[in-house]
């Protein structure tokens, strides 16, 4: 496989014997290469670019032809060049793409900043399309450069006055733009999101409802920005994900609704209208971390005394860390059997969409 790339100084191939570097259980300190890279399935291909693991895992076939094709793609220029003197159909080229970052300059790709722009574009390949635009009549006379971003849901671009000088500056800005804090979960990206092993806070909505997802995102940005490393905030098209609604005793007539799936249990946010009230949804997230939602799933609503005694004892870990709470106080409740009075929780639904821990899924043709 490596013969095609020999002498190019662009690709280094390595292989790791996982019998000599075996995975270590998650609760133990990762000391081997396999455990540090979270390897549980074989063969796994890890790609490092600019000294960092790529943000998107390779999920294609494990054949020589497919892997060589993938590496060729990674070595191709991730930036599309547009010169207004040659091509004036910028809208046709850029706006048919998903999410787009455009960098407007009057000079060409010999400028030193091009190498920075190209490195960031390579990092975020698959999240955004990157365009280097020259000789544009839209750059104001008082500016030599201009950064613009267009989301996948929009036909209009937003312009930014960021004048980047370093890779880190542009990478931080572009990552924030290209990888949204609130993502839409689909059957195509569900495995990838679930593999991050963070609880899902899911807004279920009808596809015609654009207002609820937008308001949901605003609340996350305003109140829960510090939780993005502990919870995956996602939206879900209820036409695609109607089955989970049944598990929390809801129908499409009840939409929009919010639920948390911890991969152990699924908890319904009691009243969507309370999203308008500052701090209410944040409290619901805090109750997940403290284990309160889990305890109430098994033992019913806690009285105020119990709440006061347990409040603040959470260690920031997700609900799965509190499964032992139930076993210390009583036997685990099987299936969807709930404690009396608790009718808005069920067993996890989305964990069934997770890939196998030990093999690649045949449905995605990864073997």
pLDDT in tens, the chain (367 residues): 567 777 677 888 888 887 777 766 655 666 677 777 767 677 778 888 877 788 777 877 878 888 888 888 888 889 988 887 776 555 555 666 667 888 887 666 677 888 899 999 999 988 888 988 887 777 777 777 888 888 776 767 777 877 888 999 998 888 888 888 898 998 888 888 888 889 999 999 999 998 999 899 999 989 998 898 899 999 999 999 988 888 888 999 999 999 999 989 999 999 999 999 999 999 999 999 999 998 888 887 766 554 445 444 444 444 444 444 443 333 344 333 333 334 466 788 888 776 655 555 444 444 3
Same domain, 161 and 270: no
* Domain stop point among 75, 90, 107: 75
Per-residue pLDDT at 307: 46
Same domain, 222 and 261: yes
The domain that holds 152 is classified in CATH as 3.40.30.10
Phi, psi of 203 (to 5 degrees): -95, 115
Strand, helix or coil for residue 322: helix
Same domain, 57 and 88: no
User: What whole-number distance in Å separates Cα of residue 132 and Cα of residue 147?
Assistant: 10
Evaluate whether residue 93 is within a structural domain.
yes
Same domain, 237 and 123: no
Evaluate whether residue 254 is within a structural domain.
yes
Structural domain for 156, as ranges: 79-178
Strand locations in 193-328, DSSP E?
A: 200-205, 232-237, 257-261, 265-268
Give the chain's domain count: 3
Per-residue pLDDT at 105: 76
Same domain, 188 and 209: yes
Per-residue pLDDT at 333: 40
Phi, psi of 329 (to 5 degrees): -100, -15
Residues 6 or more apart whose Cβ sits within 8 Å of residue 116: 164, 166, 167, 170
């Amino acid at each position: 496989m490596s013969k095609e790339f020999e002498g190019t100084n662009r690709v280094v191939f390595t292989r790791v014997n996982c019998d000599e570097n075996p995975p270590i259980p998650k609760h133990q300190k990762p000391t081997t290469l396999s455990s540090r890279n979270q390897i549980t399935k074989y063969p796994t291909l890890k790609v490092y670019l600019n000294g960092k693991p790529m943000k998107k895992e390779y999920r294609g076939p494990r054949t020589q032809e497919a892997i060589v094709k993938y590496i060729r793609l990674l070595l191709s220029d991730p930036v599309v060049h547009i010169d207004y003197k040659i091509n004036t159909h910028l809208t046709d080229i850029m706006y048919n793409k998903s999410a787009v970052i455009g960098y407007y300059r009057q000079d060409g790709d010999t400028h030193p900043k091009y190498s920075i722009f190209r490195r960031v574009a390579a990092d975020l390949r698959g999240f955004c399309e990157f365009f280097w635009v020259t000789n544009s009549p839209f750059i104001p006379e008082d500016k030599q450069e201009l950064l613009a971003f267009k989301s996948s849901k929009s036909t209009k671009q937003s312009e930014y006055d960021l004048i980047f000088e370093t890779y880190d500056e542009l990478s931080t800005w572009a990552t924030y733009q290209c990888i949204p804090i609130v993502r839409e979960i689909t059957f195509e990206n569900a495995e990838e999101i679930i593999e991050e092993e963070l609880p899902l806070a899911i807004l279920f909505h009808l596809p015609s409802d654009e207002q609820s997802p937008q308001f949901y995102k605003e609340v996350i940005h305003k109140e829960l920005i510090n939780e993005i490393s502990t919870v995956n905030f996602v939206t879900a098209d209820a036409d695609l994900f109607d089955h989970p609604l049944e598990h929390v005793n809801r129908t499409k007539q009840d939409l929009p609704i919010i639920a948390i799936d911890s991969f152990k249990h699924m908890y319904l946010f009691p009243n969507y209208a309370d999203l308008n009230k500052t701090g209410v949804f944040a409290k619901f997230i805090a109750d997940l971390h403290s284990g309160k939602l889990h305890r109430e799933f098994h033992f019913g609503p806690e009285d105020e005394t119990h709440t006061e005694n347990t409040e603040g004892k959470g260690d920031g870990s997700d609900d799965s860390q509190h499964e032992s709470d139930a076993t210390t106080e009583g036997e685990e409740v099987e299936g969807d059997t709930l404690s009396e009075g608790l009718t808005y929780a069920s067993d996890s639904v989305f964990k069934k969409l997770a890939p196998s821990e030990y093999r690649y899924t045949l449905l995605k043709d990864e073997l």
